[in-house]
Amino acid sequence: NNSLFSGEQNIALIGYSEISSDYLRIIGEFKDWKCKYIVTGRNDLYPERVYKKNKIQIIDTISDILSDRSITKVIIATEPSRHLEFIVPLLRRNIDVLVEKPLYNQMNKALFDMIRNTLFECDANLSVVSQLRFDDTMNMIRDKSLLKSPDFISLNFFTSRPKEYYHQGNKWRLTDSSVFLNQAYHWIDILHWCFGPIDEVKFSHSSSKFGISSADTTAASLTFSSGTIANLYATTSTKLKKTDLKIYFNNFVIDYRFERIKNRILKIFKYFNRGSNYCLMRQQVRAFLNGERDKLVDFETAVKILDVVLKLSRMP
């Protein structure tokens, strides 16, 4: 619904990762928004292949963004270790920021406190990506789960990543990566969103098929404040691609895969393709552009999720 946006507004993209092409396609779908800048040190970009609304200025610092009063939103899609180096200057310019997950590659109290103080003093918002919050099935499950605390949760996540994946770009995935820090990050956020604070992480097992410092397979358990325990297993060392999330109550079980299939059958015309990653990503960007803060992951929640996924990411 483009009528939500009045007048042309400008957004900038910091970093040009493999997901940036999708961001450009999505921005191009909203008639009242355009991408004015891409901040990157790369010189091999051809954004016009996916974005044809206007010619984008390729710059290597954020100075032009800070001096350009037409920029009201910024999406950061660099490697995790660089996610936060731009945050404070942008917030001080009252620019809303959406950061790709994970928030950062480490817990840094001094930096986080600086961001907290800046958020308190400015009129801008910092959000972190979590597309699954826009999944219709996940929202239905959350509504059911809020009725009472489950007895037990089981999450098994499988997706394939070859050795070449870890060597892409500047090879940051060789050290600042893991199956929970990247691929299964969204599911930790979803568990927190559905069942509340996570009090304890019990690490069970991790390994790396390729002999690198990033764990591609991890088994662990989480204990929530309610006392509910979730057993987790996630791997990219597989040829499978599936997610099994089961939530056990005293007299019934909620099965994510079953509920998703049921939704597609019951709402075949309305629901067609709405569960794709691109469609969920589009809904999230739309909420960000429209200032729907209640639908986005706030900074404090993102810090809590980061703490959990970092604990899940350690190697023995």
Q: Which tokens is 259 given? A: 């509920």
- Structural element, H or E, at residue 282: helix 277-289
Predicted TM-score (pTM) of this structure: 0.91
Q: How is 162-217 classified by DSSP, letter by letter?
A: -GGGGGSTT-GGGTS-BTTTTTTHHHHHHHHHHH--EEEEEEEEEE-TTSSSSBSE
pLDDT at 245: 97
Find the mean pLDDT for residues 193-212.
Answer: 91
Total residue count of the chain as it appears in this document:
316
Percent of residues, the chain, with pLDDT higher than 70: 94
Bond preceding residue 102 cis, omega within 30 of 0: yes
pLDDT at 201: 96
Residue 1 pLDDT greater than 50, yes or no: no
Q: How is 95-142 classified by DSSP, letter by letter?
A: -EEEEPSSS-SS--HHHHHHHHHHHHHSS--EEE--GGGG-HHHHHHH
Find the mean pLDDT for residues 76-83.
Answer: 94
Residue 107 pLDDT greater than 90, yes or no: yes
pLDDT at 288: 97
Find the mean pLDDT for residues 118-131.
Answer: 96
Question: Which pLDDT band, with edges at 50, 70 and 90, does 5 fall under?
Answer: very low
Place of tokens 């660099």: 78
pLDDT, mean over the chain:
90
Q: Which tokens is 200 given? A: 């304890």
